[in-house]
Amino acid sequence: MQTTRNYLKKMTHWLLPHACVLCGGYSTRQQDLCKSCLDELPILESACSRCAKPFLAGEQLLLCDICINETPLFDCTHALYFYQFPITRLIMDLKFGDALANARILGELLADKIQTEWYREKILPEALIPLPLHPNRIKQRGFNQALEISRPIVKRLKLPLLYNNCLRIKHTSAQATLPAMERQQNVKNAFTIAKNIPYKHIAVLDDVITTGHTMMEFCRVLKQAGVKQIDVWCCARPVL
């Protein structure tokens, strides 16, 4: 069923190169996402400046309760959307349905936001590192979605893309399948540095950040390797 749906989707794209990936309608924009579907995407307006945990409507805070109690290893997090429909569909189709066009769309949307809002008044990181996936997962999926989302961003921002300096060496269970208590243990020692990182200020990108344990563990390794400042970029953050 999934295969048939993917096949039909690929055929639609081949016949109608500007078909919207969400509604199938014609997109007059450069992207395969029409204006009305773009306007429906759930922008994350108000969130913790450190970890991007979404704030409730009306809350006027700078940091969330977690970051006030314990400063994370990353310096800031920028998340573009709430992890809810239809962002969930764009990301699930990308990861489990081979919809690589969605990575390009998400990367371009992130690049727009980085240029026009997030970094309008601050210095861009010197390089971008997509969160590494374990080779077994890459073999299973065929690609690392974080790397694919990063490509349009580095192209636009003219940043170096570091995708083989860091490796994921522990094949972990998917974090989402574990209770909160076990997630930290699950990702412990999951990463290693394979090649020197010749930058002090870097950005790390992941598609979705849930509890942030994986990102924290990755940042721990980056800081050990001499990185001084880490900005986290992600497509979506769920309301926990």
Which residues here bind Zn ion, judged by CB under 5 A? 20, 22-23, 25, 34, 37, 48, 50-51, 53, 64, 67
User: Rounded to whole angstroms, how far apart are CA atoms 81 and 45?
Assistant: 8
Shortest reach from residue 23's CB to Zn ion, in Å: 3
Q: Which residue number, 85 or 136, has a Cβ lying nearer to Zn ion? A: 85
| Cβ-contact 222, 200 below 8 angstroms | no
Return contacts of 35-42, CB within 8 angstroms, 24+ apart: 37/86, 40/86, 41/81, 41/86, 41/87, 41/109, 42/81, 42/82, 42/84, 42/87
Q: Which residue number, 75 or 126, has a Cβ lying nearer to Zn ion? A: 75
Shortest reach from residue 114's CB to Zn ion, in Å: 20
Using CA atoms, how far residue 6 sits from 1, 91, 104, 136, in Å, is 9, 14, 17, 23
Shortest reach from residue 222's CB to Zn ion, in Å: 19
| Cβ-contact 21, 94 below 8 angstroms | no
Q: Which residue number, 9 or 53, has a Cβ lying nearer to Zn ion? A: 53
* Secondary structure letter of residue 43 according to DSSP: B
Q: Which residue number, 54 or 152, has a Cβ lying nearer to Zn ion? A: 54
| Cβ-contact 33, 20 below 8 angstroms | yes
Q: Which residue number, 65 or 121, has a Cβ lying nearer to Zn ion? A: 65
Q: Which residue number, 48 or 209, has a Cβ lying nearer to Zn ion? A: 48
By CB neighbour count within 10 A (0-12 exposed, 13-18 middle, 19+ buried), where does 93 fall? buried
Whether the CA torsion 14, 20, 26, 32 is positive or negative: it is negative
Shortest reach from residue 33's CB to Zn ion, in Å: 6
Shortest reach from residue 69's CB to Zn ion, in Å: 10
Q: Which of 99, 81, 95, 94 is nearest to 38 (CA)?
A: 81
Q: Which residue number, 48 or 127, has a Cβ lying nearer to Zn ion? A: 48
Shortest reach from residue 27's CB to Zn ion, in Å: 7
Shortest reach from residue 177's CB to Zn ion, in Å: 24
